[in-house]
């Protein structure tokens, strides 16, 4: 399933009911360490406070998660994009899910705006793994009931999950025509090494575009390969 709404329907329903006090609802929102600011904005939009959670890392890098309030019988939303460092954030998400499942949460929704390994969605050569499917299996086996993702690299990634997936995305309007003397805006789901986007920008400039802007949902910028000013 996919929706292009600012707030998914199952979140909007709670908001419409005016659930402003945590004690009045069975909805809980917890944030991992990947994007606390986003989780705070979501909670604020719904008139809720973020749930109390203790996340720390031991000296050897292992992740420790403890929920510091009851989630028994609650609908829990875990906000944790698996952005770089992908492996650390993914492992943290899995342990958060496990903690909620063991604490008897009624449902667990993994809110993953950036879904790491999404590009590894098929084999391009022999003897390769399909890491997107493996990641989906890990999230499912950890105990998630639902996943909410934003602008997945390819729609087929939704089919890798054996649980419900809500795919939130922005709709793009494509205009085909002469760009000479005009401002060109390119929209993509992700910019990593920027090879594709810079090649497209060069082509638009060759065609006479007055200015070229690139917009993306996920600004990965791996290994500082791109200079951001």
Q: Domains (ranges, CATH) in the chain? A: 2-168 (3.40.50.2020), 183-224 (no CATH)
Q: For position 173, what pLDDT does the model report?
A: 54
Backbone angles phi, psi at 33, to 5 degrees: -90, -5
Give the per-residue pLDDT at 4.
38
Q: Can you tell me the distance from the alpha carbon of 10 to that of 75, in angstroms, rounded to the nearest whole number?
A: 11
How confident is the model at residue 172, as a pLDDT?
60
What is the model's pLDDT at position 223? 58
Quick one: tokens of 55? 């996340």
Q: What is the mean pLDDT of each run of 10 residues along the chain (229 residues)?
A: 43 49 77 96 95 97 97 98 95 99 98 90 90 96 96 79 89 68 83 75 84 85 60
Question: Which residues contact residue 6 at a Cβ distance below 8 angstroms, ignoring those fewer than 6 apart?
Answer: none
Q: What is the pLDDT of residue 6?
A: 43
Tokens standing for residue 56: 């720390």
pLDDT given for residue 2 in this prediction: 36
**Cβ-proximal residues to 184 (8 Å cutoff; 6+ apart), any chain:** 204, 209, 211, 212, 213
Strands 63-67 and 53-57: antiparallel
pLDDT of residue 151: 83
Residue 5 is predicted with a pLDDT of: 39
Q: What pLDDT sits at residue 1?
A: 37
What is the rounded distance in angstroms from the CA atom of residue 113 to the CA atom of residue 209?
A: 32
pLDDT at 163: 96
Please report the DSSP string for 80-146 in residue order: ----SSHHHHHHHHHHHHHHHHHTT-SEEEEEESS-TTTT--S-SSTT---HHHHHHHHHHHHT-SE
Predicted TM-score of the model (pTM): 0.71
156-192 CB burial, b ≥16 within 10 A, e <16 = ebbebbeeebbbbeeeeeeeeeebeebebeeebbbbb
CA atoms of 91 and 87, how far apart (whole Å): 6
Tell which residue, 94, 189, 108, has the closest CA to residue 148.
Answer: 108
């Amino acid at each position: 399933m996919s929706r292009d709404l600012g707030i998914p329907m199952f979140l909007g329903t709670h908001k419409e009911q005016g659930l402003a006090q945590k004690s009045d609802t069975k909805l809980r929102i917890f944030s991992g360490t990947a994007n606390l600011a986003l989780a705070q904005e979501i909670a604020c939009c719904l008139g809720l406070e973020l749930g109390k959670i203790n996340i720390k890392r031991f000296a050897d890098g292992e992740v420790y998660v403890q929920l510091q309030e009851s989630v028994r019988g609650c609908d829990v939303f875990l906000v944790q994009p698996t952005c770089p460092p992908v492996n650390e954030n993914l492992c943290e998400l899995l342990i958060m899910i496990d903690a909620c499942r063991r604490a008897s949460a009624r449902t667990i929704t993994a809110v993953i705006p950036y879904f790491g390994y999404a590009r590894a969605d098929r084999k391009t050569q022999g003897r390769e793994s399909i890491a997107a499917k493996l990641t989906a299996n890990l999230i499912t086996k950890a105990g998630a009931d639902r996943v909410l993702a934003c602008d997945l690299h390819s729609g087929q990634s939704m089919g890798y999950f054996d649980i419900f997936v809500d795919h939130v995305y922005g709709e793009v309007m494509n205009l085909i025509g002469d760009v000479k003397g005009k401002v060109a805006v390119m929209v993509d789901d992700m910019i990593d090494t920027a090879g594709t986007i810079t090649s497209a920008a060069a082509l638009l400039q060759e065609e006479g575009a007055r200015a070229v802007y690139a917009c993306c949902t996920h600004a990965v910028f791996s290994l500082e390969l791109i200079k951001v000013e």
